[in-house]
A and B are shown apart, each in its own frame.
Chain A
Amino acid sequence: MAASIEFLQASPYFAGMTEPEIEVISGLFFQKTIEKGEKITWQGDPGEALYFVASGAVKCFKTSPEGKEQILQIVLPGNSFNDVAVFDGGLSPTSTEAMSLVNLYVISRSDMGGILTDHPKIMINVIDILSSKIRHLLELVEDLSFRQVIGRIARILLEYADGAGPKPKLTQHEMAALAGTAREVVGRSLKTLQGDGMIRMERNRLVIADKEALSQMVNAHS
Chain B
Amino acid sequence: MLEMPRVDLEKCTGCGTCAAACHCGAIVIVEGKATIIETLKCGWCSVCEAVCPEGALYCEFEIVIEG
Contacts and interface: CB of A to CB of B under 8 A. Distances in A.
Interface of A: 37, 157, 160-161, 163, 167, 169-173, 183-184, 187, 200-201, 203-209, 211
B64 A208 contact: yes
Given A37-B8, A184-B50, A201-B44, 19 more contacts: A157-B63, A169-B62, A171-B59, A172-B50, A172-B61, A173-B55, A173-B58, A183-B49, A203-B43, A204-B44, A204-B59, A205-B61, A205-B62, A205-B64, A206-B64, A207-B65, A208-B63, A208-B64, A211-B65
Nearest to B52: A173
Contact of B64 (A161, A170, A187, A203): A161
A22 B32 CA distance: 52
A204 B61 CA distance: 5
B63 A167 contact: yes
Contacts of B3: 204
Contacts, number: 63
Given A204-B3, A208-B66, A209-B66, A187 B46 contact: yes
A173 B63 CA distance: 15
B38 interface: no
A208 B49 CA distance: 22
Given A170-B60, A173-B49, A173-B55, A207 B66 contact: yes
B66 A172 contact: no
Contacts of A183: 49-50
B58 A171 contact: yes
Contacts of B66: 200, 207-209, 211
**Looking at chain A's contact residues, is the secondary structure mostly helix, strand, loop, or mixed?**
mixed
A177 to B, nearest CB: 11
6 contacts: A161-B64, A169-B62, A171-B61, A183-B50, A204-B3, A204-B44
Interface of B: 3, 8, 43-44, 46, 49-50, 55, 58-66
B36 to A, nearest CB: 13
Contacts of B58: 171, 173
Contacts of B46: 171-172, 187
Contacts of A160: 63
Nearest to A209: B66
A206 B62 CA distance: 6
B44 A208 contact: no
Nearest to B44: A203
A172 B64 contact: no
Contacts of B43: 203
A163 B66 CA distance: 12
A170 B58 CA distance: 9
A172 B62 contact: no
